[in-house]
Structure 1
Amino acid sequence: MENDKLTQLWNLQKNNSSDDTPENIIKLAKKQRSNQFISIGILSITVVILIAYTIYCSVYKWNNFTIGLLLMISSLVFRIMLEFVSLHKKERQLISLDNKSFQKYLEKHFQLRKKINYIITPLCFAVYTFGFTLLLPYFKQEFSKGFYTYLLISGFLSIFIIAVIVFFSIKKEHKGFETLREE
């Protein structure tokens, strides 16, 4: 994305509002883009780890353990795909629309992001958590009581921490949407 060209184009179309500047919109778009890439990166690393673990542990077995891992992987892959589609679609619109049209597009984009954040993300999170709970009987059978307790506590603590991070990320993104809406 070439910000200089976009800034020049939008400066030609800019209205007199001091808050509604191309720089502010580009700044918000870059911040959201950066956050999406961070999310995609973290989710991708998790998927790679889960796939490696699946290959290592479940090559010839098909049981609830494998189903649990596949549920965890599929929920993360689905979420990654949504982020890529959202990111690509927004960038394509950014380049093709003028300032006013892009702001209207952003409003629609933000409504879609709300659906992703408040409906799809919790569903993916629930599928991931369900997949993790399917692993627990196998962990209990295969590992010592102490290590199983560690996996149980660290697993659910990790899920809780991720939920808190996701919650605050969504809240931050929503605040950015509201800031742009006010401008």
Structure 2
Amino acid sequence: MENDHLNKLWESQANDGYNSNPKNIIKKAKKQRNNQHISIAVMSLTVVVLIIYAFYYAFRQWNNFNLGLVLMISSLTLRIILEFYSLYRKEKQLISMTQKSYHAYLKNYYKARQIINYAVTPICIAVYVVGFCLLLPYFKDYLSKGFYTYILVSGVVSLIFIVAIIIKSSIKEQRFLNQMRK
């Protein structure tokens, strides 16, 4: 975004009683945007690794292992698409918005994020877990007991860590939305 343009536009307007000043809103928006870029990068890297593995080893014949990979890849891909859509929606229009219209836009944006966080994300996580569970019998049969245990433990720990990050970011977004309502 062109922050200088936004700052000049907003500073030329009356505050209209909002608690957040333009610099504060821009700072929070930048931080949220950076967090989304990190999320997209991590999910994209995971998808790339899964796709490379799937095409190199898995897709020789169709079975539950392949179904598990497809479920994991598709749930992450859906989440990446939603993050990109959320991240770049109406970006070009934001530059010419007034402070009041930008404030209204942010309210709508975070309401839409709530739908993603509280409805779509749990579905994506559930599909990912089902896919992971479909892989486990194959890992158990074809890998050593130690490596299977490592995959099982690291998979569960990673999932808990990711869910904790998602919950933390959802809480932050909810707080920001509540601040904007004041």
Tell me the TM-score normalized by structure 2: 0.93
Q: How many residues end up aligned between the 2 structures?
A: 182
Structure 1 residue 2 and structure 2 residue 2: aligned?
yes
Indicate whether 1:41 and 2:34 are aligned: no
Amino acid at match of 1:87: L
What is the rounded CA distance, in whole Å, between the counterparts of 1:106 and 1:16 in structure 2?
A: 16
User: Quick check: 119-128 or 11-20, which moved more?
Assistant: 11-20
Does the Cα contact within 8 Å between 2:7 and 2:23 map onto a contact in 1? yes
Paired residue type of 2:177:
F
Contact 1:14–1:21 at 8 Å: present in 2 too?
no
In the alignment, which residue of structure 1 is the partner of 2:146? 146
Q: Is the 8 A contact 1:25 1:180 kept in 2?
A: no
Q: What does residue 106 of structure 1 align with?
A: 106
How do 1:1-183 residues align onto structure 2 when only pairs under 5 Å count?
1-15=1-15, 17=17, 19-182=19-182
Cα offset for 1:16? 5.7
Cα drift, residue 173 of structure 1: 2.2
**1:18 to partner: Cα distance:** 7.1
Q: 1:99 Cα deviation (Å)?
A: 1.2
Unaligned runs of 5+ in 1: none
Question: What stretches of structure 2 of length at least 5 have no aligned partner?
Answer: none
8 Å contact kept, 1:90–1:109? no
What is the TM-score of this pair, normalised by structure 1?
A: 0.92
1:160–1:20 CA distance, 2 compared to 1 (3 A): closer
Post-superposition shift, 1:17?
3.8
Question: What's the C-alpha RMSD, in Å, of the aligned pairs?
Answer: 1.6
Query: Matched residues in 2 for 1:45 and 1:181: separation?
Result: 36
State percent identity of aligned pairs. Answer: 53
2 CA distance for matches of 1:14 and 1:84? 33
Higher RCO (C-alpha 8 Å, min separation 6): 2
Deviations 1:9-48 (A, max 9, x none): 1111232647332112111211111111111111111111
Q: Secondary structure at the match of 1:42?
A: helix
Verify the 8 A CA contact 1:43 1:80 in the aligned structure 2.
yes
Letter matched to residue 140 of structure 2: K
How far is 1:129 from its partner?
A: 0.7
